[in-house]
Structure formats: structure tokens, C-alpha cells
């Protein structure tokens, strides 16, 4: 099973850096056939210990490979659903961060419920050390 971090790294290498499947597999240590499936997939498994809280998670990426939306359900909150939107990306010291996050609930087939807004995060300053 490939965790979210490895899945995201494989997709970044292939979709953003335009590396071959073979290079991505070698750099991440993931078998090439698994790497190929992960690039085609929009789903990742959460790493150790998180499965109980977030049994299902989908990631929708922008064409540049950055996260657009993260969809999930939270079992420990009675199966509560969330559509987490990331936007307003900024590059700081070579790393790219979303500076705006919004989380809404959803119903049925990912139909956004606009009210209430569940989480709003606006980052105005990022310092790396």
C-alpha cells in the first residue's frame, strides 16, 4: 500500500517534473507497475494510524500537480464529510504552499453544501527556518 506522501511524490515527479515512470519508481522505491497506477489514480491511502479517522480520501489536482481539493469522510465524527479546497499558492524558498484553505461539507455525489463554512484558513505570513 502506498501512503499519501509517496502517492503525491510519484504524481509530482511524473506530472510536474515530467520524469518517466521508471525514474519515479526508482526515486521513490515503489514498483513501476504500482507507480503507474498511482499516477492515474486520484485516491491515496492515509499513512499509519489514520485509517480509522479518515477511511476514504480523494485528491483532485490542478494541471500543474498542486492540490486543488481534498475530499474525505471522518468516521470518528459519525461519517462527517469534507471538501477541503486549497488555493492562492505562494512559493517560499523553493517550496510551494497554499495560503487559503476552505472546508465545506458535502452530500451525496460530492455536492457541496455552502453553509455553514466548516473551516477557513488564511495564511498571510510563512517563515521557514
Residue 101's pLDDT band (cuts 50, 70, 90):
very high
pLDDT tens digit string along 9-42? 777 787 777 788 788 888 888 776 665 555 555 4
Q: Residue 12: its pLDDT value, please? A: 78
Q: Residue 126: its pLDDT value, please? A: 93
* Burial letters 95-108, b for 16+ CB under 10 A, else e: eeebbebbbbbeee
pLDDT, greater one: 85 or 37:
85
Question: CB-based burial of residue 36 (10 Å sphere; 0-12 exposed, 13-18 middle, 19+ buried)?
Answer: middle
pLDDT value at 114 more than 70: yes
Question: CB-based burial of residue 84 (10 Å sphere; 0-12 exposed, 13-18 middle, 19+ buried)?
Answer: buried
Q: Residue 62: its pLDDT value, please? A: 81
- Residue 50 to residue 55: CA distance in whole angstroms: 8
38-52, 53-67, 76-90: segment of lowest average pLDDT: 38-52
Q: Where are the alpha helices (DSSP H) in 1-60?
A: 4-11, 21-28, 32-40
Amino acid at each position: 500500500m502506498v501512503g499519501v506522501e509517496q502517492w503525491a511524490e510519484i504524481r509530482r515527479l511524473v506530472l510536474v517534473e515530467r520524469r518517466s515512470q521508471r525514474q519515479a519508481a526508482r526515486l521513490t522505491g515503489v514498483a513501476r507497475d504500482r507507480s503507474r497506477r498511482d499516477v492515474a489514480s486520484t485516491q491515496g491511502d492515509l499513512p499509519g494510524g489514520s485509517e480509522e479517522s479518515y477511511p476514504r480520501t480523494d485528491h483532485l489536482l490542478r494541471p500543474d500537480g498542486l492540490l486543488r481539493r481534498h475530499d474525505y469522510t471522518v468516521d470518528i465524527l459519525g461519517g462527517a464529510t469534507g471538501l477541503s479546497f486549497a488555493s492562492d499558492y505562494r512559493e517560499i524558498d523553493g517550496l510551494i504552499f497554499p495560503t487559503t484553505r476552505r472546508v465545506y461539507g458535502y452530500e451525496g455525489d460530492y455536492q457541496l453544501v455552502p453553509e455553514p463554512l466548516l473551516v477557513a484558513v488564511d495564511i498571510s505570513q510563512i517563515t521557514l527556518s
